[in-house]
Structure 1
Amino acid sequence: MKLHFYGAAAGVTGSHTVLDAGDIRVGVDAGLFQGRDSDRNRGGFGHDPRSLGALILTHAHVDHSGRIPLLVKEGFSGEVYSTPATEDLCEIMLKDSAYLMKEEADRESRHPDQRNGEPRPPLYTDEDVSYALRRFKPVDYYKVQDIGGASARFLDAGHIIGSAMVELSVGGRRLLFTGDMGRRGAPFLRDPDRVEEADWLVIESTYGNRDHGDMADRGKRLMEVILETIDRGGNVVIPAFAVGRTQEIIYELNHYAERGRLEGVKTFVDSPMAISATEIYSRHPEYFDEETLRLLSSGDNPLDFPGIEYVRSREESKAINDMKDAHIIISASGMCTGGRVVHHLAQNIGRRESTVLFIGYQAEGTTGRMLLDGAKKIRMMNRDWNVRARVEYLDAFSAHVGRTGLLNWLRSFKEFPRQVFINHGEPEASRSFAEAIRSEFDAEVVVPQAGGKYDLK
């Protein structure tokens, strides 16, 4: 058997791996490349999608799911297996992705003088998304699913609602993909499942070389940034992923708003996709941890509080920018690569009294990464903007487990996997994590290269 790494190898985005077991070829994830690697989305998958017997999807974030419509468009005709919540989320996220692609293509056609080369059509359309969604087949956690010559089982990854590790069994051997793993003690979700046995392991390394801030203090630090900004008369713009991060910010703000700490300060959730995702969270309590279930049973909805407004229409979104009173805006996209947050940045990036607050990973080449790296000027909406706003980063909101958490999770194995493959990380993070595993577990560790093919020993 061989593993082929076609994405998220020597990088964080574009997750796509294929297990070639001779009689069956199974794909795991088919995500969009983002940031500096985004042009790779137009370079094909590196293999013939028609050869895949099935696709297993770990979770709905577009760097894992965003090329599924393209995979189907290029000939994949098998089933897409995911958890029920992942299927629900993909319906809104993939449609949003198609919309943003169309918007970008329209923008390029309107500004031919600012374009290099011929205009490029969207990777896929809303119709392509609808066709791809028909291939989805939901599978609950822990249920063994036959996929023709192999079987798959989803375990709880604790990253976002419905996120899963994938255990593939072929010929009595087990290959485990962690997908993106969440942190213990995060709001809403149960902690990631512990695993005791696997013959081979593919593990993420987004934060393989560092840890996060203390989760217990993140609400306090969030409020400090907000209140300091409000005192200056500025606005707080929080670029946030619509699924997972937005809901966690609302959860933390809820605690303070219900105690009057945000009295008179409006909080706008300006992202139709985030609103839809929040509704999906509300209708899938079976994924929640005990603390969240207790809150709900007591009548306290952690996704609602005095002063919060969910904004769907463009008119409502534009009206936010006419507000004179200081306010909070939570909007997508999380890396500032498109969406409504770009317009709110345009209104605030030049204001010294305002704050742009990042709470999630920013891929290299994205506007968000440039701002975090201290850029004094950024390009958005076909023009340059001077950066005068305060730029802050709270890493305690990351939905990815850090280095210490990853190593603690690995210590649960009673018999350590014979081979470990480290993907989904920038080169420095993956290499550092690989050395830590070799040192502690004396294991054979591989850091795959993009397009690399490896024998499972």
Structure 2
Amino acid sequence: MSEAADKVVASGGGAFLNVFVLVKIWDSSLGWLLANFFMKLTFCGAAGTTTGSQHLLEVNGTKILLDCGLYQGRRHDAFEINKHFPYFDPKTIDAVVLSHAHIDHSGNLPNLTRSGFEGNIYATFATRDLCQIMLADSARIQMYDVQWLNKKKKKAGEPLVEPLYNEMDAERCMRQFVNVGYDRPLLIAPGVTLRFVDAGHILGSAQVVLDVEDVADGKKKRFVFSGDVGRGKNDILRDPQPVEDVDFVLMESTYGGREHELGTQADEKIAVILRRALERKGKVIIPAFAVERTQQVLYVLHQLFEEGAIPDVPVYVDSPLAVNATEIFRLHPECFNKEIYNFLFEKRDPFGFEGLTLVRSVTNSKALNRSQEQAIIISASGMCEAGRILHHLKNEIDNPKNTILFVGYCAQQTLGWKIREGHKKVKILGGEYDVKARIEIMDSFSGHADHSELLDYYHKMTGPKSRTWLVHGEEDRSVALQEALRKEHHGNVDIGVLGESVEF
């Protein structure tokens, strides 16, 4: 396209573009061609899988990246996938809009800025605060992983590798964040207005609503990126809020075709699991995401101890990130449901109780690993791919008295997934261990809507929804949700394919 086509001409002073741009291009073999600035969506990650969320929206001559997450899986594969941006040049991105702080949605932002992206990163206030600690933590984990990997490479005479980014890169990345409150419209690009709507998934999570005046046809259009959709009736958070008058939907499908076995409030089920586990005089190890899942488990444990539903045993949160995230939770009552909001303003701590110890230092974490006392230990990461949970599993997974309780989703091929799937032997920190501990799974704690809840979310969203694309799901999950939506909705429902682009 000519240099003249690289610029979009806007009429003066308005909040939206009012001019239709039509560019004539001379081509010696084809003659005169007419080229419009069509809206285009490219699936750059989390297509055919649940990690590495990245979607590029091109509209009115600008490029807006929706999320910039880390792919999580086999260490070598993940490193290679995350290192490069094969579907776009970071220098050409005009803005990033971040749905929430989970690392599979935010974790590659420092690499993006390090690679030349200089625009704004739009996020809710809570998402920005969580990213402040989570991206630095991600950098530290990468440094440790690279040190371990380079020891092996050095012995094998192989080239050494560098981490994707360091803590300084993470800090510099934070300078590009722009905070936006829920339901506060903001013009972020020519003819593109952003509004965040609560998604009810984790603290600060949002649906991304983009109101567009499309210069290609002069029409107003509403594009919604669901981010990750919460279940509703969460112990802590507000329910996902429905969006009206939607034309195009980019939607997650993590639990397509699958129902959670319990409602979101399943205190009696966890009480039974914990009583049974503690009767065996062993430890209860809970791999949990540092953000949202840990705080939700703490709140439920608080309630159970107050009711006398489970025996009094020490509870430890062994994750500096989870400890810091819990402090951030207390700063954002705007995200809480009415019960927790009132709880907080009654000067009670929803996430603290007698017998709870928050472990920050490495020394105290090592001491906890050596301890033989009965205890409930909550540690990150939830997928068991990094962090202190690996040391607890290494020490406790081969003891039949112990219980490992999963309270969240684990992507395929992660250590957590292998344990959940019933593998008898697993590799942890370079060693192989027999899985003899009792394995329990409570999907009721999942922050993701299940199949029925996703359908309910979609149906509450009004408007023509003339085109829908499903992402953030393993292939069979996306297909199951696609089939269900096609039966009940007359619009086009397609599954995003990694690297492909669609114009609309």
Alignment equivalent of 1:25, drawn from 59, 63, 79: 63
In structure 2, distance between residues paired with 1:231 and 1:21: 60
Alignment equivalent of 2:349, drawn from 297, 301, 309: 301
In structure 2, distance between residues paired with 1:210 and 1:351: 31
Post-superposition offset of 1:189:
1.0
Task: Return 159-168 or 379-388, whichever deviates more.
Answer: 379-388
Give yes or no for the alignment of 1:69 onto 2:117. no
Aligned to 1:441: 489
Aligned to 2:144: 103
Please give the TM-score of this superposition, normalised by the length of structure 1. Answer: 0.97
Deviation string, structure 1 residues 382-421 (Cα, Å, up to 9, x no partner): 1111111111111110001111111112222343311000
Alignment equivalent of 2:160, drawn from 103, 112, 119: 119
Aligned to 1:199: 247
Preserved CA contact (<8 Å) 1:59 1:82: yes
**AA matched with 2:98:** L
**AA matched with 1:29:** D
Alignment equivalent of 1:84, drawn from 120, 125, 137: 125
In structure 2, distance between residues paired with 1:21 and 1:148: 9
Aligned to 1:283: 331
Give runs of aligned pairs for residues 37-436 of structure 1, distance below 5 A.
38=78, 39-112=80-153, 117-149=158-190, 150-171=192-213, 172-215=220-263, 218-436=266-484
Change (3 A) 1:319 1:433: same
Change (3 A) 1:291 1:217: closer
For structure 2, list consecutive stretches of 5 or more residues without a partner in the other structure. Answer: 1-38, 214-219
Alignment equivalent of 1:6, drawn from 44, 60, 67: 44
Aligned to 1:16: 54
Please give the TM-score of this superposition, normalised by the length of structure 2. Answer: 0.88
Post-superposition offset of 1:217:
5.3
For structure 1, list consecutive stretches of 5 or more residues without a partner in the other structure. Answer: none
Preserved CA contact (<8 Å) 1:237 1:357: yes
In structure 2, distance between residues paired with 1:248 and 1:116: 46
Post-superposition offset of 1:148:
2.3
Preserved CA contact (<8 Å) 1:17 1:29: yes
Bigger RCO (CA 8 Å, 6+ sep) = 1
Post-superposition offset of 1:325:
2.0
Post-superposition offset of 1:249:
0.5
In structure 2, distance between residues paired with 1:264 and 1:177: 44
Post-superposition offset of 1:111:
3.2
Post-superposition offset of 1:225:
1.6
Preserved CA contact (<8 Å) 1:108 1:115: no
In structure 2, distance between residues paired with 1:35 and 1:291: 37
Q: Secondary structure at the match of 1:230?
A: helix
In structure 1, distance between residues paired with 2:429 and 2:290: 21
Deviation string, structure 1 residues 105-145 (Cα, Å, up to 9, x no partner): 11122334787943321000111101111000101111111
Aligned to 2:501: 453
**AA matched with 2:422:** G
Preserved CA contact (<8 Å) 1:263 1:307: no
Structure label with greater radius of gyration: 2
> What is the total number of aligned residue pairs between the two structures?
456
**AA matched with 2:162:** P
